[in-house]
Structure 1
């Protein structure tokens, strides 16, 4: 079993271990993607695609291997019928397409990389190469030019996304993102858990007790104190003022909230197949939730714009070439090094992601951090829930 070491901030040090058979060397110059963009034809190399995929894999390995084991990449983790490796590779291709399009449309926003940005990218690439041993770099397909190209694409994406969102913000009014927040307690009448862990319906007497508790809360002089006295669970919910539909909260609750002034408590609200609600309007205009809503609307606008850009090009992936990218090497954190070495690394080690974000922040006012990895862009939804500290009723 071969072990190599990879250093990269945000996941500190990695080791490429568990090297399986059948791992052939890739030709980085092979064409992975062909793009017809108007009268121009561009390409993306296998070298860039392989590095982006293996770098993404290395980050997932740091957090998932300990839970799912070394065979996780061949497993169907989501129940979609695809392996985790294939889903990750699909995400990488989507990221590359969006990064390519952002760079292609950079001129629309008068964006180009400054000498300072280019220098920062070059230095980050050099450092990434110097910080990692030959075997690790070979497993990731990392060369200085490939890492530079990867960082350039990410930098363009960050800059263009930020500029496009600022442009979209001009059409977003305060009313569009006016969020109200209420606290609520649900006295659940659907069922109860027994000592053996099974679930059974409540009795009529138990339902009456729930209703009485809800009434006591609705009529209490001190809402929070009564919640505590009842040992109930208080939760928080934000919604768009005046909304006519809600994907998470029953509209009977939203309608009741609309009739309340800040600080007021509702009467008992009975919701079929749920129970009795009592709510308190905490903030008529929740500025934090409203800011999050604005950010969400900006992101929606950018996503719509990105979709239109995708429709305007022909993006063709060579599946046979992409199939050559296999996660046959796993990346794990190596054992801790001597203290003096750790201290040195702590003061000098920087991640390629942080370099990209810093580059954007230094040259673009109020630049927004964007990462294409996830899976999960975590944009605040129109409606948000937060659970506060209390005991369940």
Structure 2
């Protein structure tokens, strides 16, 4: 479950918004868009989540692709599908997961407290009070709908916490051990292209071919009588033409060979020069200079890359990794390390980086939690999730609307509105850090959110 847009949806319930009319769905918000067992999801609930997600995503991606660009009508992932359809699928998948979690609350003794219910009710009422009728209509936002979505998010947060409590958080240094290296890569400059060589060789071959063709043309224009009377002459001509053709072919072959040899010589020279540059850096470091200073002295435009890795490393160039693994702390590889089209200079910073190792431990625990959480939902996912495509297809993205931030006055002064976050799943594999915030906490702090956050949604015609 991606917890799509959880932070803004939960923390922004009391936000004041404004938007123009959108081309939305013409169906009744009470229509069933999907169902799982006895649980039915209405179009209003799905549309409410979708429009919040649309505003967040447009605000984030619109700045990247150009103001006024309707990103939901673009194929951003190269799948052949408009991004709006991807978001629609994501929203329904999230609702499906939330429904599953709600159905299994008793498995983990999860319940909504009176405080949870009161916070949800207050946030829903505030949202309705703070927004215009047009906004509420286009978002399918009724007090009941807003309360329902907040309830699902609160249950999801509580269930996630309960499920992940069973994860083993013990990770040994050996399992998470990380090395840290610094390196720079010097690419071998391009030499005369092989395309030009091939073109010249082809021209020579064509010239030889034209000579042969011309000889044949002369022979064919001779009349039968002339051919009979001048057979010996023609034979001699053909012999001479053949000799000329062979000579031309030999010349072309020699020229191609010379070009190839020259190209190889130039490439070898460039490669040798690059190797010597890297070796010079190595010698300078072994003489007492820092790697950074030595690299900058060789090429001002180059910068060092710092990289930490462990036993499961699959990203580094194999030659680079093998060379690094042979080094001790502070040691630099005594020779340039050859890459695909250049040379590396690499130095071992630490064969056991404490900070990087501790960070890796956190990543391992996070991965364990996600795996357990996903597996648990998959285990419970036994009922069919039936989507009414006819109803869902009426929800379109013909208009643009974005989430805007404005500065608001509070008792302590003017504060910037909270930054909108967006889940860019399908474009990027990394999840936004803001999505990890718990909806229960956001709901319980409704009053402070009201003071600090004012979000505005505004429609813009394409």
TM over 0.5: yes
Task: Tell me what 1:372 maps to.
Answer: none
For residues 73 and 304 of structure 1, what CA distance do their matches in structure 2 show? Answer: 28
Task: Tell me what 2:401 maps to.
Answer: 331
CA offset digits 1:34-69 (Å, max 9, x no partner): 213xxxx32222221111111101112223345343
Question: Relative to 1, partners in 2 of residues 1:343 and 1:17: Cα closer, same or farther, differing over 3 Å?
Answer: farther
Residue 362 of structure 1: how far off its partner (Å): 10
**Consecutive unaligned residues in structure 2, runs of 5 or more:** 1-10, 192-263, 422-433, 445-462
Question: Relative to 1, partners in 2 of residues 1:46 and 1:62: Cα closer, same or farther, differing over 3 Å?
Answer: same
Residue 263 of structure 1: how far off its partner (Å): 2.7
Question: Relative to 1, partners in 2 of residues 1:190 and 1:158: Cα closer, same or farther, differing over 3 Å?
Answer: farther
Task: Tell me what 2:36 maps to.
Answer: 35
In the alignment, is residue 96 of structure 1 matched against residue 95 of structure 2?
A: yes
Task: Tell me what 2:438 maps to.
Answer: 357
Answer 1 or 2: which has greater helix percent.
Answer: 2
Answer 1 or 2: which has greater strand percent.
Answer: 1
CA offset digits 1:194-238 (Å, max 9, x no partner): xxxxxxx98443322321222233341322322332332211222
Task: Tell me what 1:156 maps to.
Answer: 155
Residue 361 of structure 1: how far off its partner (Å): 8.2
For residues 139 and 27 of structure 2, what CA distance do their matches in structure 1 show? Answer: 11
The 3-state SS of whatever aligns with 1:280 is strand
For residues 131 and 174 of structure 2, what CA distance do their matches in structure 1 show? Answer: 51
Contact map agreement 2:25 2:395 (CA 8 A) in 1: no
Residue 331 of structure 1: how far off its partner (Å): 1.8
CA offset digits 1:267-320 (Å, max 9, x no partner): 335344232122223341324531443244225423641562364332221111
Task: Tell me what 1:73 maps to.
Answer: 72
**Consecutive unaligned residues in structure 1, runs of 5 or more:** 1-7, 193-200, 364-393
Task: Tell me what 2:19 maps to.
Answer: 16
Residue 122 of structure 1: how far off its partner (Å): 2.1
The 3-state SS of whatever aligns with 2:33 is strand
Task: Tell me what 2:252 maps to.
Answer: none
Residue 111 of structure 1: how far off its partner (Å): 2.6
Task: Tell me what 2:345 maps to.
Answer: 278
The 3-state SS of whatever aligns with 1:167 is coil
For residues 190 and 99 of structure 1, what CA distance do their matches in structure 2 show? Answer: 55
Bigger RCO (CA 8 Å, 6+ sep): 2
Q: Which moved more, 1:319-328 or 1:49-58?
A: 319-328
The 3-state SS of whatever aligns with 1:169 is coil
Query: Given the alignment, which residue of 272, 276, 281 partners 1:208?
Result: 272
Task: Tell me what 1:121 maps to.
Answer: 120
Question: Relative to 1, partners in 2 of residues 1:275 and 1:164: Cα closer, same or farther, differing over 3 Å?
Answer: farther
In the alignment, is residue 290 of structure 1 matched against residue 348 of structure 2?
A: no
Question: Relative to 1, partners in 2 of residues 1:343 and 1:360: Cα closer, same or farther, differing over 3 Å?
Answer: closer
Query: Which runs of structure 2 are paired with 1:121-140 in the superposition (5 Å)?
Result: 121-140=120-139
The 3-state SS of whatever aligns with 1:55 is helix
Residue 239 of structure 1: how far off its partner (Å): 1.7
The 3-state SS of whatever aligns with 1:28 is coil
Query: Given the alignment, which residue of 43, 48, 54 partners 1:46?
Result: 43
Task: Tell me what 1:265 maps to.
Answer: 332
Task: Tell me what 1:145 maps to.
Answer: 144
Question: Relative to 1, partners in 2 of residues 1:282 and 1:355: Cα closer, same or farther, differing over 3 Å?
Answer: closer
Query: Given the alignment, which residue of 281, 285, 295 partners 1:227?
Result: 295
Count of residues in Structure 1 that have an aligned counterpart in Structure 2? 341
Contact map agreement 1:9 1:349 (CA 8 A) in 2: no
For residues 122 and 347 of structure 1, what CA distance do their matches in structure 2 show? Answer: 26
The 3-state SS of whatever aligns with 1:17 is coil
In the alignment, is residue 252 of structure 1 matched against residue 319 of structure 2?
A: yes
Contact map agreement 1:15 1:334 (CA 8 A) in 2: no
The 3-state SS of whatever aligns with 1:187 is strand
The 3-state SS of whatever aligns with 1:273 is coil
Task: Tell me what 2:456 maps to.
Answer: none
Contact map agreement 1:210 1:276 (CA 8 A) in 2: yes
RMSD, aligned α-carbons: 4.0
Q: Which moved more, 1:133-142 or 1:42-51?
A: 42-51
